[in-house]
Structure 1
Amino acid sequence: MVKMCRDHQTLMLPHFEKIYTQVQTLSSDPEQLTQLERVTLSEALILINNGLHDWNRQSALIAEIMQPITEVWLSPHITEMIQSPESFIHNIGLDHPSTAQPNQEDVYNKNRAQIFNCISTSQAVVKRCCWPSDPQVAKACGFISGHLPSGAPIYKNPSTPHILPILPNLFTLARTLNAMWSPECRAKVCPEYTRSFNMTENERNTILGLLGNSTEIPANKPVVEKVQIFLTVIYETTCHLFSDCFQSLGYEFFTADGLSSQLLESIFTNLHHLPDYRLRHIIRVVTKSFVQSCPKECWQSVLVPVMTGLTSYMVPRLNHQWAIILQRAESSEATEEQSDEQETQEVVDDYLIRTVTKEFMELLGNLCWNNRTASGKKEEGGGGELDMETEEAMEQCDSGGGNSGRSEPSTISELGKIILQNERLCESIVTCIYAAMSWPDSGVCMKACRLSWLIVQELTTRPLIPEAVTHLYTSILKGLQVHGEHDTCRAELIYRAMNHYELLREKYPILTEVMLSLPHCTQPALQKFHEKVPASKPSERKKREAFKSFIQDFIGEPMSQKFKRKEVIRDLPAILKPMKPKINVMDSSVGPEDAGLVMLFASEADI
């Protein structure tokens, strides 16, 4: 139904009243529809309603859908329930065994159902409601509330007046869901429900590449598993609701009073307690949409404070987690045999760390890459457009080698320049990008290499202390030690090392000292490189090969190749291969037995 209304809106629009009446009839009977079916039908109505191109009528339908949701969501009962993690744990039944009070379990089910109903319906409304794509139609139908200083129109979403009142409790719920993971709160959870905080079986099987996800009917699942699914779904839906608000509500949402502080105190708080399978939703769903949708006028007031808080936390966390992976790899040979469950958990943890790191690096790419803004729903409303060029550019970092056959931006984006003007945020981003070059993940290393060149070109426009320049350059050399066995990473790192050396050497002579500290790099050879390369202007390939000779002995090699002996066989006698006689099939002297098809295709052994 939703797909039909989305793809064939003009065909469904004449039947809107009939569909609306039927939906109302079905919704009036609680036994007719499940909660998910009600939300789906509401989405279908909103999609058809978008075709009316009438702000008042669209807003009226949203008001009708949201009215019962707002009453429940803003009620004292729900407000008190989500106010603190202790209250939330108690009201959804996590602080006592499921068999202790059988009659009370219905109350907990009702509480969980009310929260899910409010969040899922709100997310459906924000996701589906939109303004017309044609600026002239939007202007004539009341979807424009003003213009930005740049002259771009400010679009108003019909759902905004009905979503803004529920945001305070949404911020509270996000803060509570994060705070639940603190050791103090988890200690109050009944031991029976401890497993409900774990990753769901379907998610775990997906990571491990196992088939056969559970097809058991939800009603037949144990109570603990129901609560586990509820916590997972409510967290993911809350993240998607934030993401849809960023993308759909536009300029009016980003200019709300105190938005940056509310975000930092809700969805971006208590991150140090979250496991990676929860944190990845904040990075991939919430933050990426936030960066891509934030209007230019709100970069300084909203985006910079939020990103400063997030990166200040993420960089130490990633450094710590990759240190654990390296330590685990170094001690794996000395470790005794582990159980299958321990090995499986290591695989899952490793996958999640790599996934979170990759998505965080893509987020930094969205900050630094030049955006190609196209006309669209979000951009016209003062927000950002989902930048597909950035996504494609970052994906190219996983393939291709060196500097051949790739297109990449030559300058940092305007947003990137503003980001780097903030000293604290700049330090976190630069530290993360250059540290990522020595993390044992080739895809992350490639992304870091591409971003480092954009960053360093901007950094050279301001004074840098010699110690900072040394740290940046040695970080690339460390990456060569870690990734020297990978041809693609090795070529990219050598190229970036050469770029950094050429860019920074004259202004910071300390880089020459770093080069001379490498094995077999001498002062005369390096001086010859300084004099010959600018004068002869060789090709990039020759210049890279000349530079590679200085750092060749520093490039890491796998253990299997370190002591490899080259095989040399001297005085090997030549193998005499008998020549196949050539037969002229046109020669009359050749007998019929020698001129047949069998002889033409005979092997040498048969001759």
Structure 2
Amino acid sequence: AKTGEGLCSIFSPSFVQWDAMTFFSESVISQMFRTLDKDEIPVNDGIDLLQLVLNFETKDPLILSCVLTNVSALFPFVTYRPEYLPQVLSKLFASVTFEVIEESKAPRTRAVKNVRRHACSSIIKMCRDYPQLVLPNFEMLYNHVKQLLSNELLLTQMEKCALMEALVLISNQFKDYERQKAFLEELMAPVAGLWLSPEMQRVLLDPEAFISYVGADNKIADPVLEDPSGLNRSRISFCVYTILGVVKRARWPAAAEEAKAGGFLVGYMPSGSPIYRNPCTEQVLKLLDNLLALIRTHNNLYMPEMVARMGETFAKALDMLEVEKNAILGLPQPLLELYDSPVYKTVLERMQGFFCTLYDNCFHILGNAGPSMQQDFYTVEGLASQLLSSAFVNLNNIPDYRLRPMLRVFVKPLVLSCPSEYYETLVCPMLGPLFTYLHVRLSQKWQVINQRSMLCEDDAADDNPESQEMLEEQLVRLLTREVMDLITVCCVSKKGVEHNTTAAVDGDDDEAMATEVTPPASAELTELGKCLMKQEDVCTALLITAYTSLSWKDTLSCQRTTTQLCWPLLKQVLPGNLLPDAVSWFFMSVLKGLQIHGQHDGCMAALVHLAFQIYEALRPRYAELKAVMEQVPDIQRDSLEQFDSKLLNPTLQKVADKRRKDHFKRLITGCIGKPLGEQFRKEVHIRNLPSLFKMVKPSLETDVIENEDGEGLNALFEP
């Protein structure tokens, strides 16, 4: 069970034993510190065990990974014996630069990379969870990191930045604005020098220069070993990783008194909430223009003429990584032999990984900038127009698999953390055009999918689960969910989202119960939602997107949108004069959703409730809704007239809400979709057939019990 180099595989007895012990120590030690009193914790035994683990040496990456996990699990004992901290740090730093064969030119295997990443994560976790414990050793830690960073080729860019993140986490414990600001300035000096250099500025501003700089237009003879532009790519990655690490980790003290004493407090909002300044703000804002230039350039790489400029080797450099495809399709990652293979087999895979990570990290920076720098970021002059001209350029050519993370890691956090004072100046000017665009894009995508599914009814469908069409369709579903989630977060208050989505149990007897799956009456628009709905074009885009999405073939998105979003949006425009055609369209959209998703109890219940709400609220003002109801297949006109008369006559006693809903549901039963297996089912009625044999009841003869001879049953009981 060993690999070719004599190292363990995941089936080796040694690894299995280490893995079992690791699982045990992780499970038991954390619970022990959580449940036992301080006096009951066996500190001496824990320290002895930690000492044994620290002294254990191995060159096997799988076992070393287990060793590092055990070090992390046992680390809480160091809080009782801080003198052991330098030994722990030495062990972790030695693993950061781990190699199976020193000075090897071969690509690192996944197992080796996992060990190095594991060590970096352990250092970050230690600095995050025990900053006060590590603070006295800050200088030692800083010098060690500087020594590692001095060799450009010793660590990957992610490893360098992980160590810098750890330092930033400890610097938060300075609780002194000026001291922390000076430290961050020193830490970021190499990045600032590289990022603001004339050469880098030229590269970041021009897509053609960028392609050439990162080597995406090269023709490479040996795609495994040859990579002349790798160093250039690593420099860009290093800058972006560092900016992200600092923005994500640098913070002011959590305690208001400490923040005020340390010089972090600068004032108060009109609401009375404190305004803090982040010591990283000055350094990061200095680098913002070039970051936005990089995002604009990266977006423009997807233009057809730019894709054409990429060399033969890198024609697919902007495509999805295999790991992304597998995640989208829900395919399990292959576990066997991965530990023994290189992380990237070819330079094309390295280029794909570079573009993918760079794109994500740039948007992570923008997503973290609001919570991190607060008013200093939101008040950047012309920020809305700068973001629109960088992050949102060339969206038509940006594929779904890149647009989706942009919405999740950039737009959503930015909106959630933005104070209401900046809605008019920043959020609305940005979200208005974005929502309008997203509505058009999704409508076109779903139109293509619907046409494709209609064509596939005649032709044999492709059964290959990894087919391109299936991948694209699943991506559209995921993008739809992301967009609808973003709209919901922006527009609907949290209390309105805490709804009951429990579907009723399958079966005809529970149909009435299923109508009880309803959103709460407290679902209201947020301040941002009201701000967006004031703009006519944005209001139209939001309403049309929400109601059109009910008939897109994604059940999860339909149910969430129905229960959380549709009614609060429509309720906001009810006081105005809606056009009769618009009212009819809203109602028909819900009925169409019922036709497509009615087979699912949860969706059906939510859609029936929404249709009922719309009809009850708008039927008195719009007779057109009755005309729509009359088009429902198999509707009973008398029953509809009865329902309408009760609804329109205020003098009649109101029927209970549940009974009105059940009556309405019976009216629209004709447009509620059925599962495929029931759509063409013929009801078979079998009459009761006559019995083949007719059993004749024997007549009861009294002479059996009592006969003339006196020898019947009665005689047996006589004395």
Q: Is the shorter-chain TM-score for this pair beyond 0.5, marking a shared fold?
A: yes
**2:423 aligned to 280, 299, 304, which one?**
299
1:563 Cα offset (Å): 3.0
**2:687 aligned to 549, 557, 570, which one?**
570
Counterpart-to-counterpart distance in 1, 2:279 and 2:515: 50
Counterpart-to-counterpart distance in 2, 1:134 and 1:166: 29
8 Å contact kept, 1:369–1:409? no
Match of 1:160 in 2: 281
- Aligned residue type for 1:471: W
Counterpart-to-counterpart distance in 2, 1:231 and 1:464: 47
Structure with more relative contact order (C-alpha pairs < 8 Å, separation 6 or more): 1
1:555 equivalenced with 2:672 (yes/no): yes
1:560 Cα offset (Å): 3.1
Range with greater deviation from structure 2 (7-16 or 113-122):
7-16
1:38 equivalenced with 2:160 (yes/no): yes
Match of 1:286 in 2: 410
Counterpart-to-counterpart distance in 1, 2:663 and 2:213: 69
1:9 equivalenced with 2:165 (yes/no): no
Match of 1:505 in 2: 619
Q: Provide, for residues 230-269 of structure 1, a one-character-per-residue CA deviation record: whole Å limited to 9, x for no partner.
A: 1111111111111111221111101110000011111111
With over 3 angstroms needed to count, the CA separation of the structure-2 counterparts of 1:573 and 1:253, relative to structure 1, is farther
- Aligned residue type for 2:138: F
> What is the total number of aligned residue pairs between the two structures?
554
1:485 equivalenced with 2:611 (yes/no): no
Match of 2:659 in 1: 542
1:456 equivalenced with 2:579 (yes/no): no
8 Å contact kept, 2:360–2:406? no
1:277 Cα offset (Å): 0.8
Range with greater deviation from structure 2 (489-498 or 529-538):
529-538
Counterpart-to-counterpart distance in 1, 2:392 and 2:659: 48
1:198 Cα offset (Å): 1.2
8 Å contact kept, 1:218–1:226? no
SS of 1:197's equivalent in the other structure is coil
- Aligned residue type for 2:486: L
Match of 1:381 in 2: none
Match of 2:182 in 1: 60
Match of 1:378 in 2: none
8 Å contact kept, 1:430–1:455? yes
Counterpart-to-counterpart distance in 1, 2:460 and 2:367: 45
Q: Provide, for residues 559-590 of structure 1, a one-character-per-residue CA deviation record: whole Å limited to 9, x for no partner.
A: 4323322344433799xxxxxxxxxxxxxxxx
With over 3 angstroms needed to count, the CA separation of the structure-2 counterparts of 1:32 and 1:92, relative to structure 1, is closer
SS of 2:309's equivalent in the other structure is coil
8 Å contact kept, 1:398–1:447? no
With over 3 angstroms needed to count, the CA separation of the structure-2 counterparts of 1:21 and 1:81, relative to structure 1, is same
1:433 equivalenced with 2:546 (yes/no): yes
Query: Percent identity among equivalent residues?
Result: 36
8 Å contact kept, 1:131–1:155? yes
- Aligned residue type for 2:660: K
SS of 1:207's equivalent in the other structure is helix
Match of 1:369 in 2: 492
- Aligned residue type for 1:242: L
SS of 1:82's equivalent in the other structure is helix
- Aligned residue type for 2:401: Y
- Aligned residue type for 1:156: R
SS of 2:525's equivalent in the other structure is coil
Counterpart-to-counterpart distance in 1, 2:371 and 2:351: 30
8 Å contact kept, 1:397–1:443? no
Q: Provide, for residues 522-568 of structure 1, a one-character-per-residue CA deviation record: whole Å limited to 9, x for no partner.
A: 66533321333563433332111111122111223344323322344
TM-score where L is the length of structure 2: 0.73
1:405 Cα offset (Å): 7.5
1:21 equivalenced with 2:143 (yes/no): yes
SS of 2:551's equivalent in the other structure is coil
Match of 1:260 in 2: 384
1:487 Cα offset (Å): 1.7
Counterpart-to-counterpart distance in 2, 1:102 and 1:230: 16
1:143 equivalenced with 2:228 (yes/no): no
1:417 equivalenced with 2:541 (yes/no): no
1:49 Cα offset (Å): 1.2
SS of 1:145's equivalent in the other structure is strand
8 Å contact kept, 2:207–2:301? yes
Counterpart-to-counterpart distance in 2, 1:147 and 1:300: 20
With over 3 angstroms needed to count, the CA separation of the structure-2 counterparts of 1:72 and 1:349, relative to structure 1, is same
Q: Provide, for residues 343-366 of structure 1, a one-character-per-residue CA deviation record: whole Å limited to 9, x for no partner.
A: 522222122111110011110111
1:476 Cα offset (Å): 0.7
Q: Provide, for residues 97-123 of structure 1, a one-character-per-residue CA deviation record: whole Å limited to 9, x for no partner.
A: 1239999953x2221111101000110
Counterpart-to-counterpart distance in 1, 2:224 and 2:172: 46
Counterpart-to-counterpart distance in 1, 2:139 and 2:211: 43
1:337 Cα offset (Å): 6.1
Counterpart-to-counterpart distance in 1, 2:414 and 2:185: 26
Match of 2:394 in 1: 270
TM-score where L is the length of structure 1: 0.86
Range with greater deviation from structure 2 (529-538 or 451-460):
529-538
Alignment of 1:363-402 (within 5 A): 363-371=486-494, 401-402=514-515
1:128 Cα offset (Å): 0.5
Range with greater deviation from structure 2 (511-520 or 348-357):
511-520
Q: Provide, for residues 22-61 of structure 1, a one-character-per-residue CA deviation record: whole Å limited to 9, x for no partner.
A: 2223333445544322211111111111122111111112
Match of 1:382 in 2: none
Match of 1:123 in 2: 244
1:512 Cα offset (Å): 2.1
